[in-house]
Structure 1
Amino acid sequence: MVMLAGFHKNPDIANVDSSENDSGPFKGTILRTKSGSLCSKMGEPCISCTTFNVLAPIYKRLDQQNQSIRESDFRAFWLARNERIVDWLLYESSSIICLQEFWVGNEELVHMYEERLGAAGYDTFKLGRTNNRGDGLLTAIHKDTFRVLNYRELLFNDFGDRVAQLLHVQSVFPFEQNQNNSVEQEILIVNTHLLFPHDSSLSIVRLHQVYQILLYLEAYQREYKLSQVPVILCGDWNGSKRGHVYKFLRSQGFVSSYDIAHEYTDSDADAHKWISHRNHRGNICGVDFIWLRNPNKSRKPLKISWAEAAFGIIKYQLQKASLAENDAFAFLRADNNGNHITYSAFCDALRQVNLTGLSHGLSFEETKDLWVQADIDGNGVLDYEEFKRIWNSTWSEHTDEDCGFEDSNESMEKEAIGFAVKNAVLFPREVEKGIWPENYSLSDHARLTAVFSPVRLRCSQKSL
Structure 2
Amino acid sequence: MRSKTKGRLSRIGSYAIASSVGDHHSQPCITCTTFNILAPIYKRLNQKDPSCRESDYRAYWLTRNQRILDWLLCERSSIICLQEFWVGNEELVNIYEKRLGDAGYINFKLARTNNRGDGLLTAVRKDYFRVLNYREVLFNDCGDRVAQMLHVEVVAPFPECRSNDIHQEILIVNTHLLFPHDASLSIVRLHQVYKILQCVESYQKENKLSPLPIILCGDWNGSKRGHVYEFLRSQGFVSSYDTAHQYTDADAHKWVSHRNHRGNICGVDFIWLLNPISYRKLLKTSWSEAVFGMFKYLLRKASLTDKDAFAFLKDGNNCDYVTYSGFCEALRLLNLTGHKHGLTAEETVDLWVQADIDGNGVVDYEEFQQRIWNPWSEQRSEECDKLEDGKGDRKQTIGFSVKNAVLFPPEVEKGRWPEDYSLSDHARLTVVFSPIRMPCSQLTT
1:168 aligned residue = 151
Decide whether the 8 Å contact of 2:167 with 2:398 is kept in 1: no
Consecutive unaligned residues in structure 2, runs of 5 or more: none
- Answer yes or no: is 1:336 the counterpart of 2:317: yes
Distance between the aligned counterparts of 1:62 and 1:76, measured in 2? 13
AA of the residue aligned to 1:257: S
C-alpha distance in structure 2 between counterparts of 1:41 and 1:24, whole Å: 26
Q: Which residue of 2 aligns with 1:345?
A: 326
Is it true that 1:392 corresponds to 2:382 in the alignment?
A: no
Is 1:307 matched up with 2:278?
A: no
Q: Against the structure 1 CA distance between its residues 338 and 410, is the aligned structure 2 distance closer, same or farther, given a 3 Å change threshold?
A: closer
Give 2:76's aligned residue: 93
2:280 is the counterpart of 1:293: no
Gap change, CA 1:77 and 1:402, over 3 Å in 2: farther
Contact 1:264 1:270 in 2 (8 A): yes
Which one of 224, 229, 236 corresponds to residue 241 of structure 1? Answer: 224
Partner of 1:58 in structure 2?
41
Deviation of 1:21 (Å):
10
Q: Is the 8 A contact 1:175 1:183 kept in 2?
A: no
Deviations 1:14-43 (A, max 9, x none): xxxxx99993367531336999x9544872
* Partner in structure 2 of residue 440 of structure 1: 421
Which amino acid is the alignment partner of residue 369 of structure 2?
Answer: K
CA displacement, residues 159-181 of structure 1 (integer Å, 9 cap, x when unaligned)? 21111000001112353349975
Q: How does 1:138-157 map to 2 (within 5 A)?
A: 138-157=121-140
Alignment-derived partner of residue 279 in structure 1 = 260
What one-letter code is carried by the residue in structure 2 that aligns with 1:391? W
Conserved? CA contact 1:340–1:383, under 8 Å: yes
Q: Could you tell me whether the CA contact under 8 Å between 2:288 and 2:351 is conserved in 1?
A: yes
How much does 1:151 deviate? 0.4
Do 1:403 and 1:457's aligned partners in 2 also have CA atoms closer than 8 Å?
Answer: no
SS at match of 1:401: helix
Distance 1:302 1:279, change over 3 A: same
CA RMSD of aligned residues (A): 2.6
**Contact 1:32–1:92, Cα closer than 8 Å, also in 2:** no
Residue pair 2:383, 2:443 contacting (<8 A) in 1 also: no
1:377 pairs with 341, 358, 368, which one? 358
1:21·1:84 contact (CA, 8 Å) conserved in 2?
Answer: no
The whole-number CA distance in structure 2 between the counterparts of 1:355 and 1:34 is: 43
In the alignment, residue 115 of structure 2 is paired with which amino acid?
Answer: N
Query: Contact conserved, 1:176 with 1:182, CA < 8 A, in 2?
Result: no
Give the partner amino acid of 1:332. L
User: Does the alignment pair 1:257 with 2:240?
Assistant: yes
Secondary structure class of the residue paired with 1:349: helix
Which structure shows the higher helix fraction?
2
Deviation at 1:403, TM superposition (A): 9.0
Q: Is the 8 A contact 2:384 2:441 kept in 1?
A: no
SS at match of 2:116: coil
Give the letter aligned to residue 53 of structure 2: R
Whether 1:428 aligns to 2:409 is yes
Go from structure 1 to structure 2 and tell me whether the alpha carbon gap of 1:458 and 1:62 turns closer, same or farther (over 3 Å shift): same
Deviation at 1:429, TM superposition (A): 0.3
Distance 1:425 1:177, change over 3 A: closer
SS at match of 1:151: strand
The alignment-based identity, stated in percent, is 68
Q: How many angstroms apart in 2 are the aligned matches of 1:179 and 1:160?
A: 43
Alpha carbons of structure 1 residues 55 and 399: separation in structure 2 relative to 1, 3 Å:
farther
Name the CA distance, whole Å, in 1 between partners of 2:82 and 2:161. 36
Structure 2 equivalent of residue 13 of structure 1: none
Counterpart check, 1:419 vs 2:400: yes
1:174–1:183 contact (8 Å) kept in structure 2:
no
SS of the residue corresponding to residue 432 of structure 2 reads strand
Q: CA deviation at 1:300?
A: 1.6
CA shift, 1:203, in A, is: 1.4
TM-score of the superposed pair, with normalisation by structure 2: 0.92
Change (3 A) 1:316 1:98: same
Q: 1:118 to 1:45 in 2, by over 3 A?
A: same
Secondary structure in structure 2 of the residue aligned to 1:28: helix
Letter in 2 for 1:367: T
The answer (yes or no) to whether the contact 1:414–1:459 under 8 Å persists in 2 is yes
Is the CA contact 2:170–2:212 (under 8 Å) kept in the aligned structure 1?
yes
Does 2:16 align with 1:23?
no
Q: CA deviation at 1:344?
A: 1.4
- Whether 1:357 aligns to 2:361 is no
Give 1:117's aligned amino acid. L
Once the two structures are TM-superposed, the CA of residue 461 in structure 1 deviates from its matched residue by 7.3
TM-score by length of 1: 0.89
Describe the superposition over 1:124-167 as per-residue Cα deviations: whole angstroms up to 9, x where unpaired.
10001111111110000111111111100001112211110000
Shift of the alpha carbon at 1:402?
9.3
Q: Residue 456 of structure 1 aligns to which amino acid in structure 2?
A: R
Q: Which residue of 1 aligns with 2:436?
A: 455
Q: Name which of structure 1's ranges 106-115 and 343-352 shifts more when overlaid on structure 2.
A: 343-352
Number of equivalent positions: 441
Structure 1 residue corresponding to 2:59, chosen from 76, 81, 106: 76
**How far apart in 1 are the matches of 2:346 and 2:3?**
49
| Counterpart check, 1:201 vs 2:184 | yes
Structure 1, unaligned stretches of length 5 or more? 1-18
